[in-house]
Amino acid sequence: MTLALVIEWLIKGLVLVLILLGGFAYLTLYERKALARIQVRIGPNRAGPWGILQPIADAIKLIFKEELMPAQADKLIFFLAPVVTLVPALVITSVVPWGPTLTVFGHKLTLYIADINVGVLYIMSVASISVYGIVLAGWSSNNKYAMMGGMRSSAQMISYEIALGLSFVSAILLADSMRMLDIVAAQKNLWFVLLQPVGTAIFLIATLAEVNRPPFDMPEAEQELTAGYHAEYSGMKFALLFMAEYDKMIAISMIGATLFFGGYREFWFLSNTVFSVDRTPWLGPVYLFVKLVILLFGMIWVRATFPRIRYDRLMAFGWKVLLPLSLAVVFITAVGIILAEQINPLWMWGIPAVSLLVGIFAIAMIDRELRRKDYARR
């Protein structure tokens, strides 16, 4: 390993961390502006032109805000819990490629930090660590409401991580690899969202639950838990927990764009022919950023549209709906790939067709069950 390669890795790692930290700040502004637009309001417009300095004003406020610690709290764990929550959100994107390998002044520049052949497994492993920070934050506060929020978070993440992992399997099967670069390369002719739309929908729903976003924000339910696991946090410690949630939104959107939406590949309508090879590979980071913004808007739109789900229904939805549906999707994908290889490549289009039929059947069964329970309650 040469010194130049080490320096290159350090620079790329620093750039990624700065992008995530800056992205957190302006994602809050993006969300507030988008919510205001949806709800026919103005949104932040005081700090700077069009309110673009509002994140800086919020950061200054949090820096100078007094930090309090409960007298009976476990001080070491209370201090470390926000760090344990934030760090996985920063390091999980190290295997996500931003673009193809470029040649700059005769030097080959790889637009990723790490290229490992089990990149998807790395993502699943690191993503499961952040729940420790949330549980420890609730437990160390010595507050029953915070503790309840931490317990809810652990139960919720365990329930939805299984469906999330199985949604990864559909992309792995289609690409025949767990390496992120191979998954992007396999989508040069067709994005996986078109081959497995139900698997993509399961991924997007499960990630909302994983990052505690509405309507799955039960660990932070203000009406019941006075803000949940971070009820006793203030100042910069609260800012770290807040930052972890929004950085996880960015990270999970980058992963989703890479697994199902072609990653850094250009949109097919920008090419001469449908699904042709990229004509402008050097714009890979721009294409990934555009897809990231679209997926983040989807999360914000869901927050503005759906009310918070009841906790028992949240758990039932994860175990009784998403888990069996994700198992069916994996089975359908595997059978479709085998038939396409052994009989006719057109069998590959049976994967989205059968998956959609199974998904529609699942939605119909959910609606029937809810109507039955509502009728019985009357």
pLDDT band at 253 (very low <50, low <70, confident <90, very high): very high
Nearest to 260 by CA among 306, 216, 203: 203
Nearest to 317 by CA among 357, 360, 363, 355: 363
Per the listing, tokens 């193809």 go with 100
CA 199/CA 83 separation, integer angstroms: 32
Q: What is the pLDDT of residues 110-148, one digit of tens each?
A: 888 888 888 898 998 888 888 888 888 888 888 888 888
- Which residues, in sequence order, are CB contacts of 304 under 8 Å at separation 6+? 34, 35, 38, 39
| 281 preceded by a cis bond (ω within 30 of 0) | no
User: What pLDDT is stored for residue 317 in this prediction?
Assistant: 87
**Contact predicate 203/255, CB 8 Å:** no
Three-class DSSP category at 300: helix
Q: Region 182-203: what's the mean pLDDT?
A: 89
Q: Region 63-69: what's the mean pLDDT?
A: 83
Provide DSSP, 33-57.
HHHHHHTT-----SSSGGGTTHHHH
pLDDT band at 376 (very low <50, low <70, confident <90, very high): low
DSSP state of 96: S
Look up residue 111 and give its amino acid.
L
* CA atoms within 13 A of residue 273's CA, in its CB half-sphere: 5
Pick 84 or 225 by higher pLDDT: 84
Q: What is the pLDDT of residues 254-293, one digit of tens each?
A: 999 999 998 888 876 665 544 445 667 778 888 999 999 9
Bridge partners, 102 (sequence order)? 109
Is 373 a residue whose pLDDT tops 90?
no
82, two tokens:
């926000």
User: What pLDDT is stored for residue 153 in this prediction?
Assistant: 83
CA 274/CA 268 separation, integer angstroms: 6
Look up residue 67 and give its amino acid.
E
- Residue 204: what are its φ and ψ, rounded to 5°? -65, -40
Helix H or strand E encompassing 107: strand 107-109
CA 213/CA 205 separation, integer angstroms: 10
Question: Count of domains in the chain?
Answer: 1
Pick 286 or 104 by higher pLDDT: 286
**Contact predicate 112/95, CB 8 Å:** yes
Q: Region 192-221: what's the mean pLDDT?
A: 87
**Contact predicate 85/229, CB 8 Å:** no
Residue 359: domain span: 3-377
